[in-house]
C-alpha cells in the first residue's frame, strides 16, 4: 500500500500553487493523494493569516486534527504558509504540540526532509537528490496531470511594501524574483502535462525583477512566456498602480497570449484613508491609470480590491469608495472588512473603531453596487462571440473562461472540450457567469 497525503489549502493563489508544489514533491517520494484527512499518513495545512477569519479556520482545523494524531502518533501533521511565516513556528510549537513539521510559505523542503529522515532509507535519499540535481521541472500530482488546464506559477515571492493593514510582507519575507529560465522550464513542463493557461503570480507581480540588478522585468518575462509552444494563454496578478508601466501595457497590447484582464487593487476611494494605508498613490492617479488601460485595451476587464472599515473610516470616507466604484465601473471588486493584524502599522497606530455590524453593512453596500455594475457590463456581451478556454465539465455542463476571465457555461455531448479554445456565442448573461452555445451545427474549433 502506498502511503497517502491530504492537503488543506486556504488563502491566495500563491498558496494553491505552493500546495501543488508540496503535492508534487510528496508524489515523487511515492505518496498518493487521498480525499480525506482522517486516513491520510501525511496531512498538510497550508494556511493564511491575511484576516483573522482565515487564521481562525486554520487553528480550528489544527484542533480537529489533534485526536487523530493522538490515536495514530505516526500520522504526520505539517503546518505550512503564512501562519508559520518565514521566521518559523516557535510559538506555534508550544501552542500546538501535535504539529510535526513547520513549513514557511512556498517551501516544501522541511516536510520532505522530515519524511526522508524518518524513512532513513539512503536509497530514497539518493533518488531524491538525483532528481534535484537534474532540476526536473514541476511534476503535477497524478489527479491533476493531463486534467488541469489553468495553473498558477509564482514568479516573485515575498513583498517589500508596507501597506499599513497588511501582514503578508512579514510572513512571506523580502521580494525574491525567480530566474526567467526556471520559470520557463516550469511552464514548459506544465504544458507537457496538459496545462494551456498560466497565471504568473506575485504579491506585486509587476515588481518582477526589481530585486535583481539589471534584471528582466515583467514585460520581458511576458514576451518569453508568450513564445512557449503549446501554451494558449498567460495572465498575471496582482498589480500595483505604481508599477503598471506603459512598457507593461505595451506588452499586454502586443502579445497575443497575454489576456486582457488586470487585477489592480485600489483599497479605498478616499484620499486620507489611502494615505494612512500607505498605498502611495492618489485617486486621480488611479483613475488616470484605469483610463489609460482602457484606451489601450478596449476589451479589458479590470478587478480591484477594497477594504471597508479601515480604522477611522467615516461614513463620508466610505462613500468615496462607493462613488469611485460607481464612476469607474470595474468588472470585479473583491471587498474585505478590515481585520487588525498584529505587527502591522495600522494595528499599532489606530484602534479598530468601526463596529463589526457597520463593516458588514459597508461590505454589503459594495457588493450590492458591484453586482449591479457587473450585471450591466456583462449584459453588453449578449450575442457576442467570445473565445473561451474550456477547463472542465461539471454536472453535464462545460465550463471555461473568456480572455477577460469571465466564467462561461455551455452544453455539448459530442466532443471532449477540455483544454480547447472555442468560440462561443453568448446567449445569456448574469453578474457571475455567462452562458454560450457553439455556433452552427459543426462546432467551430479555434485550434
Rank residues 276 and 418 by Cβ distance to ligand SAH and give the closer one.
276
Rank residues 42 and 274 by Cβ distance to ligand SAH and give the closer one.
274
Rank residues 116 and 287 by Cβ distance to ligand SAH and give the closer one.
287
Rank residues 115 and 201 by Cβ distance to ligand SAH and give the closer one.
201
Rank residues 105 and 110 by Cβ distance to ligand SAH and give the closer one.
105
Stretch that binds ligand SAH, among 114-122, 332-340, 349-357, 373-381 (CB under 6 A): 332-340
- Output DSSP code: residue 309: S
Which residues, 365 to 424, sit near ligand SAH by CB under 6 A?
none
How do strand 76-81 and strand 434-437 relate by DSSP bridges? unpaired
**Residue 358: is it exposed, middle or buried by C-beta count within 10 angstroms (0-12/13-18/19+)?**
middle
Q: Give me the DSSP letters along 153-170.
A: EEEEES-----TT--HHH
From the list 204, 225, 258, 421, which residue makes contact with ligand SAH (rule: CB under 6 A)? Answer: 204
Which residues, 31 to 70, sit near ligand SAH by CB under 6 A?
50-51
Which residues lie closer than 8 Å to 420 by C-beta, 6 or more apart? 389, 390, 445, 446, 447
Alpha-carbon distance 252 to 89, whole Å? 41
71-76 contact pairs (CB < 8 A, 24+): 74/41, 75/40, 75/41, 75/42, 75/43, 76/41, 76/42, 76/43, 76/100, 76/101, 76/111, 76/114, 76/115, 76/118
- Do the Cβ atoms of 161 and 66 come closer than 8 Å? no
Smallest gap from residue 280 Cβ to ligand SAH (A): 12
Binding mask 86-125 for ligand SAH (x = CB under 6 A): ----------------------------------------
From the list 220, 305, 323, 371, which residue makes contact with ligand SAH (rule: CB under 6 A)? Answer: 305
From the list 338, 398, 410, 417, which residue makes contact with ligand SAH (rule: CB under 6 A)? Answer: 338
Rank residues 140 and 307 by Cβ distance to ligand SAH and give the closer one.
307
Which residues lie closer than 8 Å to 91 by C-beta, 6 or more apart? none
H or E element that contains 32: strand 32-33
- Do the Cβ atoms of 306 and 335 come closer than 8 Å? yes
Alpha-carbon distance 267 to 402, whole Å? 26
Rank residues 170 and 203 by Cβ distance to ligand SAH and give the closer one.
203
From the list 196, 341, 418, 420, which residue makes contact with ligand SAH (rule: CB under 6 A)? Answer: 341
- For residue 282, what are the CA distances in angstroms to 239, 244, 289? 16, 14, 11
Which residues, 219 to 248, sit near ligand SAH by CB under 6 A?
238, 240
Smallest gap from residue 412 Cβ to ligand SAH (A): 36
Rank residues 338 and 417 by Cβ distance to ligand SAH and give the closer one.
338
H or E element that contains 301: strand 301-308
From the list 78, 84, 112, 166, which residue makes contact with ligand SAH (rule: CB under 6 A)? Answer: 166
Where on the phi/psi map is residue 48: left (φ > 0), alpha (ψ -120 to 50), or beta? Answer: beta
Stretch that binds ligand SAH, among 125-133, 144-152, 165-173, 247-255 (CB under 6 A): 165-173
Rank residues 231 and 330 by Cβ distance to ligand SAH and give the closer one.
330
274 binds ligand SAH per the rule CB under 6 A = no
Binding mask 168-187 for ligand SAH (x = CB under 6 A): x-------------------
Smallest gap from residue 202 Cβ to ligand SAH (A): 8
A 10 A CB-CB count for 160 gives 13
Stretch that binds ligand SAH, among 138-146, 160-168, 245-253, 436-444 (CB under 6 A): 160-168
Q: Does the N-terminal peptide bond of residue 238 adopt cis geometry, omega within 30 degrees of 0?
A: yes
Stretch that binds ligand SAH, among 37-45, 164-172, 228-236, 396-404 (CB under 6 A): 164-172
- Do the Cβ atoms of 318 and 308 come closer than 8 Å? yes
307 binds ligand SAH per the rule CB under 6 A = yes
- Do the Cβ atoms of 11 and 46 come closer than 8 Å? yes
* Nearest Cα residue to 313 out of 279, 343, 353: 353
From the list 9, 15, 17, 267, which residue makes contact with ligand SAH (rule: CB under 6 A)? Answer: 267
Smallest gap from residue 362 Cβ to ligand SAH (A): 12
Q: Which residues bind ligand SAH (CB under 6 A)?
A: 50-51, 165-166, 168, 203-204, 238, 240, 265, 267, 305, 307, 336, 338-339, 341
Amino acid at each position: 500500500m502506498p502511503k497517502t497525503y491530504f492537503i488543506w489549502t486556504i488563502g491566495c493563489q500563491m498558496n494553491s500553487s505552493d500546495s501543488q508544489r508540496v503535492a508534487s514533491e510528496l508524489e515523487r517520494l511515492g505518496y498518493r493523494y487521498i480525499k480525506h484527512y482522517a486516513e491520510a499518513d501525511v496531512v498538510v495545512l497550508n494556511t493564511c493569516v491575511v484576516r483573522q477569519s482565515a487564521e481562525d479556520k486554520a487553528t480550528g482545523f489544527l484542533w480537529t486534527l489533534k485526536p487523530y494524531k493522538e490515536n495514530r502518533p505516526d500520522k504526520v501533521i505539517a503546518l505550512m504558509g503564512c501562519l508559520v511565516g518565514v521566521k518559523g513556528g516557535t510559538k506555534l510549537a508550544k501552542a500546538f504540540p501535535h504539529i510535526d513539521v513547520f513549513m514557511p510559505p512556498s517551501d516544501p523542503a522541511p516536510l520532505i526532509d522530515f519524511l526522508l529522515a524518518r524513512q532513513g532509507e539512503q536509497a530514497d535519499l539518493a533518488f531524491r537528490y538525483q532528481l534535484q540535481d537534474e532540476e526536473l521541472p514541476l511534476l503535477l500530482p497524478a489527479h491533476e496531470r493531463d486534467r488541469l488546464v489553468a495553473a498558477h506559477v509564482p514568479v516573485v515571492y515575498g513583498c517589500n511594501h508596507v501597506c499599513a493593514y497588511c501582514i503578508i510582507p512579514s510572513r512571506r519575507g523580502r521580494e525574491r524574483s525567480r530566474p526567467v529560465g526556471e520559470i520557463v522550464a516550469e511552464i514548459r513542463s506544465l504544458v507537457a502535462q496538459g496545462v494551456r493557461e498560466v497565471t504568473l503570480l506575485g504579491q506585486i507581480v509587476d515588481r518582477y525583477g526589481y530585486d535583481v540588478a539589471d534584471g528582466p522585468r515583467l514585460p520581458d518575462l511576458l514576451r518569453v512566456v508568450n513564445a512557449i509552444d503549446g501554451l494558449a494563454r498567460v495572465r498575471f496578478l496582482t498589480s500595483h498602480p505604481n508599477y503598471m508601466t506603459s512598457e507593461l501595457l505595451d506588452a499586454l497590447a502586443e502579445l497575443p497570449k497575454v489576456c486582457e484582464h488586470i487585477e489592480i487593487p485600489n483599497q479605498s476611494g478616499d484620499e486620507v484613508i489611502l494615505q494612512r494605508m500607505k498605498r502611495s498613490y492618489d485617486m486621480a492617479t488611479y483613475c488616470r491609470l484605469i483610463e489609460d488601460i482602457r484606451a489601450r485595451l478596449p476589451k479589458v476587464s479590470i478587478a480591484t480590491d477594497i477594504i471597508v472599515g479601515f480604522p477611522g473610516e467615516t461614513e463620508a470616507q466610505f462613500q468615496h469608495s462607493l462613488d469611485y466604484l460607481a464612476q469607474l465601473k470595474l468588472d470585479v471588486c473583491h471587498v474585505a472588512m478590515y481585520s487588525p493584524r498584529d505587527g502591522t502599522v495600522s494595528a499599532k497606530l489606530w484602534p479598530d473603531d468601526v463596529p463589526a455590524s457597520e463593516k458588514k453593512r459597508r461590505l454589503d453596500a459594495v457588493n450590492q453596487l458591484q453586482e449591479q455594475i457587473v450585471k450591466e457590463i456583462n449584459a453588453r456581451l449578449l450575442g457576442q462571440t467570445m473565445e473561451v478556454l474550456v477547463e472542465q465539465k461539471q454536472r453535464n455542463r462545460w465550463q471555461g473562461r473568456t480572455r477577460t476571465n469571465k466564467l462561461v457555461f455551455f452544453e455539448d455531448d459530442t466532443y471532449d472540450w477540455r483544454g480547447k479554445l472555442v468560440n462561443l456565442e453568448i446567449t445569456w448573461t448574469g453578474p457571475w457567469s455567462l452562458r454560450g452555445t457553439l455556433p452552427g451545427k459543426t462546432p467551430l474549433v479555434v485550434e
